Amino acid sequence: MERVLNVTVTAPELHRMSALLAPAHQPFWGPKTLLAETGAVVHSTEPIKATCDTFGRWGSGAAEPHVMLDEETFFALSQLVRARLVRAQVGARDLVPTVRAWPELREVRLQADGHRFVWWPSLIQGHESQALRSYIEDGAKGSRHDEVPESVWSACESILPGARAIAGTFALGEDANCFSTVLAAADPVAVAEEWVQREPFEEFLSTRTRPGGRDDEPGTVMVWRSADQLVQHACITLGKGWVLNKPNQCWHSPRSVMSVRQAIVQSRAPGRRMSRRCLI
């Protein structure tokens, strides 16, 4: 058992998440001239969601020219090309750790330019826990589900029968988002691991909620919309100032418990406005 962001990660979960952290095939973005030197097919379509989540690339930026390389193909390249390729990833994608931060991994000094490297399945073996914690906990706050008084859980159980089961957990797959977290808290029959699109979530809001709600009561859905009125994010209160919130859509973001204030601060973004609706 491991603890990451105050969330228990079992051995099978650690194995699954490590495979997402260091995929067998991973994207490298860069100038077309550099990508051509790899001899690989240059793609202009967006990688799968889990890959975009891992490397912090979404939307049109993810569809910029890139190649997909496996470990064998990467190391078949000259060190000069590998060095230029890895340097090009700094600022282009997440997860380009420094050699200095991992002194125990002496082999990474020769992987690229001696300053930066990328994770591969063979490299991460034996370092899964440390690599996962370093990546997931960077700039993130731990879940506070173990601080919630038993009285709060008891009071919200009839209103949010699915909340306690998913509070302080990572999703079992890569598709869970903030909308599925809210739905699963309000209805234990809902599949918490599924990707819920805006349309079904809007239907939930129109049929299961009404305008209003209080931050200190359970069952208040906090909804953030952009200027075009599209719903962008949502979370749900547990009562007494606590809220269940999946801060983003990524596989490495747990269903966290935090204060209402913390959720509001984390969810702010230019052009967004927040409203409240209560379950009916």
CATH number at residue 179: 3.90.1720
Q: Does the pLDDT at position 234 exceed 90?
A: yes
Q: Which of 211, 227, 199, 215 is nearest to 260 (CA)?
A: 215
| Domain identity same for 108 and 150 | no
Interval 96-122: pLDDT, tens:
999 999 999 999 999 999 999 999 999
* Cβ contact 143:168 at 8 Å: yes
User: Is the pLDDT assigned to residue 64 strictly greater than 80?
Assistant: yes
Same domain, 114 and 150: no
Go through 62-72 and write b for each residue having 16 or more CB atoms within 10 A of its CB, e for each that does not.
beeebbbbebe
Which of 118, 133, 162 terminates a domain? The answer is 118
In this model, does residue 60 exceed pLDDT 90? no
**Is residue 129 domain-resident?**
no
Same domain? 166 vs 248: yes
What span, in angstroms and rounded, lies between the C-alpha atoms of 15 and 129? 9
Domain holding 189, by residue range, is 145-279
- Tens digit of each residue's pLDDT (9 = 90 or more) over 171-191: 988 889 999 999 999 998 877
Q: Which of 232, 253, 233, 255 is CA-nearest to residue 184?
A: 255
* Burial tier of 44 (Cβ tally within 10 Å: 0-12, 13-18, 19+): exposed
The answer to the question of residue 3 being in a domain is no
Residues 105 and 39 in one domain: yes
* Maximum CA extent, the chain: 63
Among 252, 262, 242, 250, residue whose Cα is nearest residue 164: 242
Same domain, yes or no: 274 and 233: yes
Residues 67 and 176 in one domain: no
**According to the model, what pLDDT value does residue 59 have?**
80
Per the structure, how many domains does the chain have? 2
Q: Nearest Cα to 16, choosing from 173, 166, 145?
A: 173
Contact 239, 156 (CB under 8 A): yes
- pLDDT of 2 strictly over 80: yes
SS3 label, residue 25: strand
Are 186 and 247 within one domain? yes
Partners of 223 in beta bridges: 234, 275
The pLDDT of residue 175 is: 87
pLDDT higher than 80, residue 1: no
Residues 162 and 266 in one domain: yes
Do 32 and 103 share a domain, yes or no? yes
- Does 182 share its domain with 275? yes
Q: What is the pLDDT of residue 36?
A: 96
What pLDDT does residue 25 have?
96
Confidence of residue 192 (pLDDT cuts 50, 70, 90): confident
- Report, as an integer, the average pLDDT of 46-51: 92
Residue 253 has a pLDDT of 95
Classify the C-alpha dihedral 78-83-88-93 as positive or negative: positive
- The pLDDT value recorded for residue 69 is 98
Domain identity same for 268 and 161: yes
Sign of the CA dihedral running 67, 37, 115, 117: positive
Instruction: For residue 128, tell me if it sits in a domain.
Output: no
Q: What is the mean pLDDT of the chain?
A: 95
Q: Are residues 257 and 219 in the same domain?
A: yes
Task: Report H helices in the chain.
Answer: 11-21, 32-36, 49-55, 71-76, 79-89, 121-124, 128-136, 150-156, 163-166, 178-186, 198-208, 260-267
What's the rounded mean pLDDT across residues 118-143? 94
Confidence class of residue 194 from pLDDT cuts 50, 70 and 90?
Answer: confident
User: To the nearest whole percent, how much of the chain has pLDDT over 90?
Assistant: 92
Does 73 score more than 90 pLDDT?
A: yes
**Sorting pLDDT into bands at 50, 70 and 90, what band is 255?**
very high
Does residue 16 contact residue 76 with C-beta atoms inside 8 Å? Answer: no
